[in-house]
Structure 1
């Protein structure tokens, strides 16, 4: 007889249903996104670029992949260290969105949203959100050396735009004035046609 033969069985526990996240919360966890390869400059100068590299399109919204890069000029070592530190785009305050890189979106019907560190759950009734909502999801890594610095950031936009959409950026500390990039609604629609669900039922 096995030593483990008479150990008690684990009791059955009630099966927990998966909580349904609201659309503004973030990308669905059960979809393969379609890709809108926008590949456009929201801002470009001799020293700095801010690029909307691509957009992952889901059934409920889209994930923006943003890249920014600064090229060193004649700054001293200390000045360059300050630029590198600013380029990390650390939030100075959880309630202050107007520091570092500012990102917003404008729809053709006049609606707009500005990227915030917290989603609507922090400030509004989460069951009564009409959007649009633009949420900061964090960075995706970066690199720097004595010649350039480059970082990435990810942002969730809900709901998915059905019309032409303008992305607006500004970064006062790095000398970036308010600049914009327009993306056509057709690009979102085409990528939406490539979204795949994990499960059919």
Structure 2
């Protein structure tokens, strides 16, 4: 006889409750986003760029798809090795500060210290790094990509993506994502399942 023989069986058809993921942590898992495909340069210098490839718009927020690239100029082999190592030292954008100015005047920053556990009862906005992306490098160029979840979805109006990359000598710059394509993308959001 086992200790567990007297354990009652679960009623048929009963499912364990599933933990729901907070909306600030990422996009809904059952939506096809609307797209703002035409991006542009957030920062652009003689040997380094940060660009927005696209914005994926969901019912609750947006994913910003960013890429960065730096090309070799006068660096020695050891100097270039340092540039490449900085590009791989952490996931995402190496030493690049990223932020978003929302139409209502609020701001969100990647790596915002208020995102520490225990303080997530504040209303946001948040700019949360997403899984994925990566980096690659060779003797002439280092490049990578990163995605950020912007929550909550911004109100109607222009969205301003702001960046600064001190290591590459690029001062603060920005790119405006116009209100019109964002509004069209909001209308294109579709759920997977019919209600």
TM bin (shorter chain): 0.7 to 0.9
Whether 1:149 aligns to 2:149 is no
Match of 2:128 among 132, 135, 140: 135
2:109 corresponding residue in structure 1: 114
Residues 159 and 89 of structure 1: CA distance in aligned 2, closer, same or farther (over 3 Å): farther
Q: 2:186 — aligned with what?
A: 192
CA apart distance, 1:139: 4.3
Q: Give 1:89 shift.
A: 5.3
Q: Which runs of 5+ in 1 are unaligned?
A: 1-10, 92-98
Task: Please list every run of at least 4 consecutive aligned residues from structure 1 whose deviation after the TM superposition is greater than 4 angstroms.
Answer: none
For the 8 Å contact 1:86–1:173, the answer to whether it is kept is: no
CA distance in 2, matches of 1:45, 1:123: 39
Partner residue, 1:78? 78
Q: TM-score, normalised by structure 2?
A: 0.85
Aligned to 1:103: 98
Pair 1:173 & 2:167 matched: yes
Which residue number in structure 1 is paired with residue 158 of structure 2?
164
Provide closer, same or farther for how the CA distance between residues 19 and 119 of structure 1 changes in structure 2, counting only shifts above 3 A. farther
Question: For the Cα contact (< 8 Å) 1:89–1:101, is it kept in 2?
Answer: no
> Could you tell me how far 1:35 is from its partner in structure 2?
1.1
Instruction: Give how far 1:170 is off.
Output: 0.8
Question: Residue 7 of structure 1 aligns with which residue?
Answer: none
Q: Measure, in 1, the Cα distance between the counterparts of 2:116 and 2:18.
A: 19
Name the structure where helix makes up a greater proportion of residues.
2
Q: Distance in 1 between matches of 2:152 and 2:108?
A: 11
Root mean square deviation, CA, Å = 2.2
Aligned to 1:55: 55
Is 1:18 equivalent to 2:12 in the alignment?
A: no
1:176 CA displacement: 1.7
Q: Is the 8 A contact 1:60 1:158 kept in 2?
A: yes
SS of the counterpart of 1:28?
Answer: coil
Query: 1:42–1:117: structure 2 CA closer, same or farther, 3 Å change rule?
Result: same
SS at structure 2 position matched to 1:131: coil
